[in-house]
Amino acid sequence: MLLFLFSSLAFSTPYIIQTLKAPTQKITFRISISQKHTLIFPPRKLYNIIDCLYWFYNIFSCIMKFMKKSLRKRIWTILIAIISVLLILNLGATLYFYQIACVRNNQPIGQVKTSSPNYSLVQKFNKLPKSTETLTNNDLKLDAWYVPAEQKTNNTVIVVHGFRQDKSAMRHYGQLFHELGYNVLMPDNRGAGNSQGNFITFGYHDKFDVIAWAKYLTDKNPESHISLYGLSMGASTVMMASSEKSLPSSVKNIIEDCGYTNAWDEIVYQAKESYNIPAFPLVYSVSLESKIRQGWFFQEASATKALAKDKLPILLIHGSKDTYVPTSMVYENYKSVKPGTPKEMLVVKNAAHARSFETNPTLYRQTISKFMKTYNP
């Protein structure tokens, strides 16, 4: 019996694999969920999944042929029960991790501590005159602070916060640009602070909100020269915005600090590092949940793809000891920038995630000041 089993596998499996390889190299598989949502499976990934499943199926079928009918029925019952339990567990885990990653809560993180060397900047910022600005984009009312420069200027920096933060976490950066002589606009992302929205979109929808703010400033002052600055998720957001055709020509340059390559890579990394969970099946399920509820897969929120079309000068900053958005990602982003586009990179020694400014304030300020004087003086 064993000889027959392994003979069957030896002869049938190569044929099956060869048959599966041919079509998947040339086509993309689509499964329609509804009129609005379609799942797109890359051929290579689909082949790998089918390949593994068919191996198990082939082995299982050969074994089952030599069993009594009653035993086969019992095994099928047990197998279906196990699969059902696994599917239920995966569904529960999907809903739980989707809640953690993508659903709004109102407990912002990342506030500057009183022990930080940059806390004095927060105190100074608190004393600045500021106005509250609002606009509506995609039926969501968005909120921002606007701080005018001490001396009148057409140059403005839009400062974009990170994951589960709000604009108040960016006060020291606002003060930095204020001291460099710029107007500062600090929005709450959708799903954060005083802005409407129930979901965190990792830059996928947020990039259009940033563009809307740039247009808002340009409409108020057609002579505006705008820089985009983002931290962490905000950094990836401004990178994603860089290649959009709707971005107004008034935007002159981009500064990103510790942004990820794309949402998929970052979430896969966090699943492994924080929970020791492999990408399959959970991250795939959470990404599917995002597609169903928000209209985008995690792979679609990509900074690297946007940078490949970016024509705006860009400064990329990262900490050498970032273990939240791994430092390797800044090198990937740097390499992705469209050839011919002016680009600079600063990796701050010994800086953890979003701590480059705190770790070396002098170098950080000098690097940004020089870049801004070159591309948005």
- Compute the half-sphere exposure of residue 46: CA atoms within 13 Å on the CB side of its CA: 17
- What does the pLDDT read at residue 34? 40
Least-confidence region, from 1-15, 79-93, 171-185, 243-257: 1-15
Which range of 15-19, 78-82, 90-94, 115-119 scores highest in mean pLDDT? It is 115-119
Average pLDDT over residues 132-157: 98
Given CATH 3.40.50.1820, say whether it is the number of domain 119-262+301-375: yes
Q: Which amino acid is at 172?
A: H
Q: Is the pLDDT of residue 75 over 50?
A: yes
Q: Are 138 and 234 a contacting pair, CB within 8 Å?
A: no
Distance, CA of 102 to CA of 191 (rounded, Å): 9
In this prediction, residues 19-44 reach a mean pLDDT of 42
Q: Is 340 exposed, middle or buried (0-12, 13-18, 19+ CB in 10 A)?
A: exposed
At 78, the pLDDT band (50, 70, 90 cuts) reads confident
Q: What pLDDT is stored for residue 373 in this prediction?
A: 97
Cα–Cα dist 206/200, whole Å = 9
Q: What pLDDT sits at residue 86?
A: 87
- The mean predicted confidence, pLDDT, of the chain is 87
The whole-number average pLDDT for the span 147-170 is 97
User: Residue 168: left (phi > 0), alpha (psi -120 to 50), or beta?
Assistant: alpha
More confident call, 168 vs 71: 168
pLDDT confidence of residue 371: 98
* pLDDT of the residue at 64: 66
The residue with greater pLDDT, 208 or 62, is 208
| Single pTM value for the model | 0.82
The domains of the chain are located at 2-102, 119-262+301-375
Specify whether the CB–CB gap between 199 and 293 falls below 8 A: yes
Identify which of 259, 195, 193 has the alpha carbon closest to the alpha carbon of residue 228.
259
